[in-house]
């Protein structure tokens, strides 16, 4: 028998499965169940990106999109409705002189698709841009994961609830920017951690509560090292109080909410140590060369200007960084609009090197443990509660204006975290990518410009919500396609324009004209008037 949500309607079997996983996760993390998943939906949604819903132009049903970049005057459909769209017919290819003539000829074929689920996936509800995942509810940008509900961005993860950006993590609730974590609750920016609660900027830590900026530590509360038995005693007391509050109010405040209500300790102004000097001119020169090489592949010619001249165009769809300032040194701190880092208190920021030193040298006093509980915890940890939005994990080389990097090199102005990335600029959340520019939410891809929400792309330009494609231009929701232009909702196409395949020679003739037009416009204006997000608008 399925549990009943608030409205009284019986849940589906996939939701029943997620509900069971939620209850098990709560019992594991909080040591007891707190009730059905449906009771906590509003709270779990609080810190994830809001879903975008539109009405299908085919059926009128509600369709879920992962973002709202698509032009308002476009047609949309659910993924399951794409087989209902009119079959495309061949065009007179000699009339396709330029991008505008192609756009006008194909205007009625452009349907933007929501509820996108690709690869080997099943039991997906009210979610989009899901790849190779199972049991996903009300989430976006999820890949190779299972048992995920109310999450934004999860890769290789399972049993995640209300989490914003989970990578290779399991059994976590309300975490933000986590990587290889297990059994954590309200952990902000944690890597390789387990059993950590209401903490920030931990690496390689286990069994920590209300801790900040620690590395390879265990059994700590307020950064104070404790005997295991004493730690477990206080932890049990805190968890019991947290569960009581959670059951009563159907939510708990976030770590940031707790800290924002406390007075800020004024830090002594000191010079910040700097351990990662970067030769900015040399880095930009290398990235310029790689950008030119990528343009040669995608546009048929190199552009005469460096990448900085195209920054506004490349960053069009990428959330900007917030300019912050260190509370210790006054030095600039870049705060990315990612995994809720932009919510960190602006008067409590530290640079990475500063945070390491501060975390090592500041902790609660043992006297403050007397009577320590959930209700006074925020006040007692206030003086150690400083946040660092910068991350460096693994070996990183020549990273410039990119605060959150993992095992990457030659990256400039990445506005979000990125993992194993090389030669990229003006990007947002990439993983295992090389020579990618002006793109976001891209995985296992190479030599791409302005590509979004896709997996395994090669030599693509303005491609969105696609998988396993190469040499594609202005394509949306295509899979296993090669040498395609202006294709929407297509699979396994070769030498296609508007979903219709043409002889190779005819296709390449049109492609050459399109590439030359884009290159000329970029040389002249440093921008393009067309993008995959608005190429399908019905009226100019």
* 327: Cα separation from own chain's centroid: 27
Q: Is the pTM of this model over 0.75?
A: yes
Handedness of CA 503, 505, 506, 509 (dihedral sign): positive
Helix (H), strand (E) at residue 39: none
Query: In sequence order, which residues have a C-beta less than 8 Å from that of residue 16 and are 6 or more positions away?
Result: 2, 3
Give Rg (Cα) of the chain. Answer: 25
From first to last of its 540 residues, the chain has per-residue pLDDT tens of: 233 333 333 446 778 999 999 999 999 999 999 999 999 999 999 999 888 999 999 999 999 998 888 888 899 999 999 999 988 999 888 888 899 999 999 988 899 999 999 889 999 999 999 999 999 999 999 999 999 999 999 999 999 999 999 999 999 999 999 999 999 999 999 999 999 999 999 999 999 999 999 999 999 999 999 999 999 999 999 999 999 999 999 999 999 999 999 999 888 777 766 655 678 999 999 999 999 999 999 999 999 999 999 999 999 989 889 999 999 999 999 999 889 999 999 999 999 999 999 999 999 999 999 999 999 999 999 999 999 999 888 899 999 999 999 899 999 999 988 899 999 999 999 999 999 999 999 999 999 999 999 999 999 999 999 999 999 999 999 999 999 999 999 999 999 999 999 999 999 999 999 999 999 999 999 999 999 999 988 765
Query: In sequence order, which residues have a C-beta less than 8 Å from that of residue 185 and are 6 or more positions away?
Result: 29, 30, 172, 173, 174, 175, 196, 197, 198
* Angle in degrees, CA 309, 532, 444, rounded to 5: 80
Residue 13 CB neighbour total at 10 angstroms = 10
Q: Could you tell me which of 143, 165, 149, 117 has the C-alpha nearest to residue 17?
A: 149
138 neighbors 38 (Cβ within 8 angstroms):
no
């Amino acid at each position: 028998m399925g549990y009943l949500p608030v409205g009284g309607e019986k849940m589906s079997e996939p939701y029943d499965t997620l509900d069971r996983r939620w209850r098990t996760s709560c019992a594991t993390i909080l040591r007891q169940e707190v009730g059905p998943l449906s009771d906590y939906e509003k709270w779990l949604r609080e810190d994830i990106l809001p879903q975008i819903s539109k009405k299908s132009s085919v059926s009128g049903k509600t369709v879920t999109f992962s973002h709202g970049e698509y032009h308002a005057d476009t047609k949309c459909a659910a993924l399951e409705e794409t087989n209902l769209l009119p079959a495309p017919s061949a065009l007179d290819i000699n009339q396709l002189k330029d991008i505008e003539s192609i756009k006008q000829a194909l205007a009625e074929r452009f349907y933007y698709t929501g509820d996108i689920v690709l690869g080997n996936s099943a039991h997906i509800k009210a979610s989009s841009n899901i790849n190779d995942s199972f049991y996903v509810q009300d989430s976006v940008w999820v890949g190779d994961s299972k048992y995920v509900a109310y999450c934004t961005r999860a890769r290789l993860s399972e049993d995640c609830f209300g989490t914003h950006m989970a990578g290779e993590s399991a059994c976590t609730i309300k975490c933000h920017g986590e990587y290889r974590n297990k059994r954590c609750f309200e952990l902000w920016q944690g890597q390789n951690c387990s059993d950590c609660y209401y903490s920030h900027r931990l690496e390689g830590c286990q069994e920590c509560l209300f801790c900040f900026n620690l590395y390879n530590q265990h059994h700590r509360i307020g950064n104070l090292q404790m005997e295991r038995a004493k730690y477990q005693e206080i932890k049990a007391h805190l968890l019991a109080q947290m569960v009581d509050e959670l059951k009563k109010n159907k939510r708990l405040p976030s770590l940031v909410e707790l800290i924002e209500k406390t007075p800020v300790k004024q830090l002594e102004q000191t010079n910040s140590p700097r351990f990662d000097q970067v030769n900015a001119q040399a880095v930009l020169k290398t990235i310029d060369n790689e950008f030119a090489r990528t343009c040669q592949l995608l546009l048929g010619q190199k552009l005469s200007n460096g990448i900085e001249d195209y920054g506004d165009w490349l960053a069009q769809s990428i959330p900007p960084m917030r300019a912050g300032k260190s509370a210790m040194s006054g030095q600039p701190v870049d705060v990315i609009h990612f995994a809720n880092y932009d919510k960190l208190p602006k008067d409590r920021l530290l640079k990475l090197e500063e945070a390491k030193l501060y975390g090592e040298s500041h902790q609660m006093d043992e006297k403050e443990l007397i009577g320590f509980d959930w209700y006074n915890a925020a006040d007692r940890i206030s003086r150690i509660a400083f946040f660092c939005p910068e991350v460096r994990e693994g070996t990183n080389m020549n990273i410039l204006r990119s605060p959150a990097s993992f095992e990457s090199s030659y990256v400039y102005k990445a506005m979000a975290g990125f993992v194993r990335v090389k030669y990229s600029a003006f990007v947002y959340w990439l993983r295992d990518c090389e020579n990618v520019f002006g793109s976001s939410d891209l995985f296992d891809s190479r030599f791409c410009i302005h590509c979004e929400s896709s997996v395994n792309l090669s030599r693509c330009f303005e491609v969105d919500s696609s998988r396993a494609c190469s040499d594609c231009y202005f394509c949306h929701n295509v899979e296993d396609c090669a040498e395609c232009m202006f294709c929407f909702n297509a699979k396994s196409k070769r030498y296609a324009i508007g979903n219709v395949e043409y002889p190779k020679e005819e296709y390449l003739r049109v492609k050459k004209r399109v590439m030359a037009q884009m290159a000329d416009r970029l040389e002249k204006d440093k921008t393009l008037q067309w993008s995959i997000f608005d190429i399908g608008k019905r009226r100019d």
